[in-house]
Structures are given as structure tokens and as C-alpha cells.
Amino acid sequence: MTSPPDKGDLGGCDTIYSMPELPEVENLRLGLERAILGQKIKKVKVHKPKLVSGKGTLRPPSLKKKTEFEKGILGEKFIAIERRAKNLIFKLSHNKIIIAHLKMSGQFVYLPSHKASARHSKSERENKVVMGGPARNAYSIAVAGGHPIELSEKELPNKHTHIIFELEKGNLYYNDTRMFGYVLYYPNAKTFETENHFSMYGVEPLDSRFTAKYLFDALKTKKGKIKAVLMEQKIVTGLGNIYADESLFEAGIRPDRNPSSVSLLEAKKLHKAILRIIKRAIKVGGSSVATYRLLDETRGNYAREHKVYGKGNSLCVNCKNPLVKTIIQGRTTVFCPTCQK
């Protein structure tokens, strides 16, 4: 069971924050890549062992896993940061790996040393937060991404800070209000591969294998409701509540349609919509990070461009008829009964 979504004002829009999806995670990856690559982990402290003990919601905290995490990555360097679906893959020296999934309420914040004090002000020009984008002096920027946690803009560490990585030039904080996320350590690539962490995932939407024909054939094998199928990650990864709603609206397909009923022409429209929306959302910084600023200090947020998500009972931007709000797979869903068939 999930909590009611948080709401925040963004230029007059009623923005609903939800689990970070592919564009949000990709922007976080880009920001962290520019800020922490090459830095050595001088110290690490895990305050909530549950977060490093496994993936399940009801996972028991393991002191053994906590110790392995803290000792295993000590002294290692960040070599690369990759993304698979909504997971961040931190590759360390000596082939060690950290996998992180923010889930509904997780957040990473990096503060360089001269800003990593007990309190910092978002209003100060030198304290701007970066979500991706180029940076001339990467180690001097702050990076934040994931679920917006207001306290993290004023005080770090705070009551939601559960893991602290002390690096050579700053601190990386993992904050999580509800602790649904996980940050897992693997001593080597073989151990990670043995777990087959991503075995149930489909193709990435920006992968060349994700074609309209692939999408059409995959949908033909599925039952249920098409929105639920898109969100389950087995056909295409990274789509959650936001981008499933937006893509289906742009393609003119009702979210409660049986996926096997989608024609090849409709699959082509959906494929095109997914690609356009994901690329655009990545470019402008995603949808669920409205409290964070980009390098140019704008809020650059795809929430400004939402057509249906979070707009239940509003009028359709196309036909001006009322949008309908319903529940699919436990998630609030908004669509236009006139434009979507």
C-alpha cells in the first residue's frame, strides 16, 4: 500500500510527486557521474541496515550485510555510474558494485566539501543543485535527485538520511522517508551476475531493440490492462505512472484496453509517443524532481508539459472535454474518454 502522493506548486501546475521513473533516474545518473567519478570513499556509515540488506519491502535488517557494505567499499573509487531501468549501478574499483533503487521515497544528494555543512541555503547562488547538464568544475557542484524531501534543502544529514558516503571532495547522502528503496553491495561482478538482478526486465526504451514491431508482438502475448502491462517492466523498462499515462494519451489508447487488442498502427503510435516523451523528459530534467534546479538555475521540469497525469477532472487539452480519473493496478490513472479509444 502506498501513501497519498505529495503535491507541490510548479508554476501554477498541480504537480504530483511519485516514484522516480527513467528520466528522473537518468538525470540523477548524469549529475552524479559529473560530480563523484574518480573520488575515493574515505568513510561510509549505514544508519539503517534494512536498506542494504535486500530488495523486499519486509526485508529484515542484517548487521552482517551492514558490516560487509561499510567495510567492502571503504577506500574504493567510483569508476562508472550506469542505469538499468530505474536502478543506478555504481561501479567501483576492484570490480566492486553498488546497486541502488530509489523506489517511492529515496533520494541521493551530493554536496561538495565547502557546502557539506550542517545547513545550506538553496537561495545562495553557489549552492545551486544540478540535475545532469554540463559542469566545468564537477567537484564544485551539488547534485540531488529522487523524491523531493524538503528538509534536504535545509539540513544534511537529517532525520531521513540513512547512509552517508564521505568522499575526498564532498559527501554523498542517501535519504529515504519511507525506506522502500535499497542500496546493495556486491564484492565482485561475478557475485552480482549470479543474482541475475535484472532478469525480469524488458528492453530499455532508448535501446535499438525497442521497435514498434517488438512492442506490437509483445503486447499480443499479454492480458489485463495495457497501462499495468507497461508499468510491470517486462516489455519495456522505466515507465511508471507518469509516463504510462502520458504515452497512452499521446497515442490515443485508453489505459484500460486489453493489450492484445492494440493494432500495429496503434503500436507504432505508442512506440513513437514513448520515445518522444522519454527523450523530452530526460532533456528537461524529469517530472518528480520539481524542488531541484538545473545548472542554469531553472526548474526545467517535464511536469509543466503533462497533458493528463495529475490532471483528473480538468479539461482535455485537445477536445476540451473532462478528463476521467480512475484506479489501475492501485495507481491513480487519468485519461480522456473522447481522445483515447
Residues acting as catalytic residues: 20-21, 86, 331
Give the end-to-end CA distance of the chain in Å, rounded to a whole number: 30
Q: Do you find a cis peptide bond into 322, omega within 30 degrees of 0?
A: no
> Which DSSP category does 21 fall into?
-
Q: Report d(CA 153, CA 151) in Å as an integer.
A: 5
In the beta sheet, which residues pair with residue 167?
Answer: 41
Q: Report d(CA 181, CA 161) in Å as an integer.
A: 12
| Contact partners, residue 280, CB within 8 Å, separation at least 6 | 302, 305
Say whether 271 sits in a helix, a strand or coil. helix
For residue 191, give the nearest of 71, 68, 76 by alpha carbon: 68
Say whether 79 sits in a helix, a strand or coil. strand
> What b-and-e string marks burial along 52-69, b requiring 16 or more CB atoms within 10 Å of the CB?
bbeeeeebeeeeebbeeb
H-only helix segments in the chain: 22-36, 63-72, 189-195, 212-220, 226-231, 241-251, 264-284
Cβ atoms of 83 and 132 within 8 Å: the answer is no
Q: Report d(CA 137, CA 325) in Å as an integer.
A: 46
Q: Report d(CA 73, CA 70) in Å as an integer.
A: 6
Cβ atoms of 143 and 28 within 8 Å: the answer is yes
Say whether 102 sits in a helix, a strand or coil. coil
